[in-house]
Amino acid sequence: MRAPGGDAYHGLRATLRRFGVGTVCEQARCPNVGECWRAGTATLMVLGDACTRACRFCAVASRERSGALDAGEPARVAAAVAQLGLRHVVLTMVSRDDLSDGGAGHVAATIRRLRAEQPGLLVEALVGDFAGQLDAVDAVLEAGPDVFAHNVEVVREWTAALRDRRCGYERSLGVLDRAKRRAPEGLTKSSLMVGVGESDEQVRRGLADLRAVGVDIVTVGQYLQPTPRHHRVARYVPPQDFDRYRQAADELGYGCALCGPLVRSSYRAAEAFFAAGRAKQGRSSLAARRRFG
């Protein structure tokens, strides 16, 4: 990857700094930050810069209490996005177990403010599990995101070893299932990291589990150890294995599967949105032809 730099990169960074808006791109040390920021895209992070959970793969800072809720944040995020002229934005969050609703109301308020500033804006909401509170999932959905995303992160067999003890594979599937049941016409999305110790068969089962709860878009990427204190990399997965993961996802009926060493959950999010939308329209047309001949 090219080192971060260039006018577009520095312009986007300066705008986000001016409005006091954080990004997971920087917090999680994403390797694609240079490519994405040069293209004018970023994943904005709300609810503070520290997570109340401590997953063993994640570089985001962790604290039991992440500080007071910033009521002015939705307006600043919307202003920054408008200033940058973005047409597609990914909005993510740190986990906030110290808040009664897990921060769902704040995420929803930010989505509504983004919509008010730019009615045609496409919004992807990448959220946590809200401690299993499904009414919190509903609150986010009521704000009308174009994509509802929640990451299972790793396969079932490696969840306990890599994710915070308050996370759960079945809980994450339940969040995605709730989103699809409440908004069946909407797009749902999730992500897997590989190279932590899983087998190819476990990856295929993970893809099948996500598709079984209606996930439309999936990303699969190589885990990279952010610091020496984080979980080690067990294997660098070769490109041909990612090709097989993508083929398996296609066979399972995903609308879009992005699989590659440097793919992350928000990588080329706009492309994935339009690809999955076209696939969904194609399936609907096929179903109609079958019903009506």
pLDDT of residue 140: 98
Cα 51 to Cα 53: distance, rounded to the nearest angstrom: 5
Q: State which amino acid sits at residue 287.
A: A
For residue 36, name the pLDDT band (cuts at 50, 70, 90).
low
Q: Which residues of 17-28 are buried (b: 16+ CB within 10 A; e: fewer)?
A: eebebbbbbbbb
Cα 162 to Cα 91: distance, rounded to the nearest angstrom: 24
pLDDT of residue 74: 95
Q: Is the pLDDT of residue 82 over 50?
A: yes
Average pLDDT over residues 171-178: 98
For residue 289, name the pLDDT band (cuts at 50, 70, 90).
very low
Q: Is the pLDDT of residue 49 over 90?
A: no
Look at 82-91, 109-118, 121-130 and tell me which has the smallest mean pLDDT.
Answer: 82-91
Average pLDDT over residues 120-134: 95
Look at 44-53, 98-107, 238-247 and tell me which has the smallest mean pLDDT.
Answer: 44-53
For residue 4, name the pLDDT band (cuts at 50, 70, 90).
low
Domains of the chain by residue range:
7-292
CA–chain centroid gap for 268, Å, is 11
Cα 20 to Cα 160: distance, rounded to the nearest angstrom: 35
Cβ contact 24:47 at 8 Å: no
Angle, CA of 22, 119 and 20, to the nearest 5°: 15
pLDDT of residue 31: 60
pLDDT of residue 30: 57
pLDDT of residue 280: 77
Cα 15 to Cα 1: distance, rounded to the nearest angstrom: 24
Look at 5-14, 95-104, 269-278, 283-292 and tell me which has the smallest mean pLDDT.
Answer: 283-292
Task: Report the mean per-residue pLDDT for the chain.
Answer: 87
CATH number of 7-292: 3.20.20.70
How many other CB atoms sit within 10 Å of the CB of residue 260? 17
Residues written for the chain:
293
| Nearest alpha carbon to residue 179 among 129, 220, 123 | 129
pLDDT of residue 290: 41
More confident residue, 13 or 256: 256
Summarised one tens digit per residue, pLDDT across range 228-283 is 999 999 999 999 999 999 999 999 999 999 999 989 887 777 788 888 888 877 66
More confident residue, 67 or 131: 131
Cα 215 to Cα 66: distance, rounded to the nearest angstrom: 30
pLDDT of residue 209: 98
Of the spans 41-55, 68-82, 230-244, which averages the highest pLDDT? 230-244
Look at 27-31, 117-121, 163-167 and tell me which has the smallest mean pLDDT.
Answer: 27-31
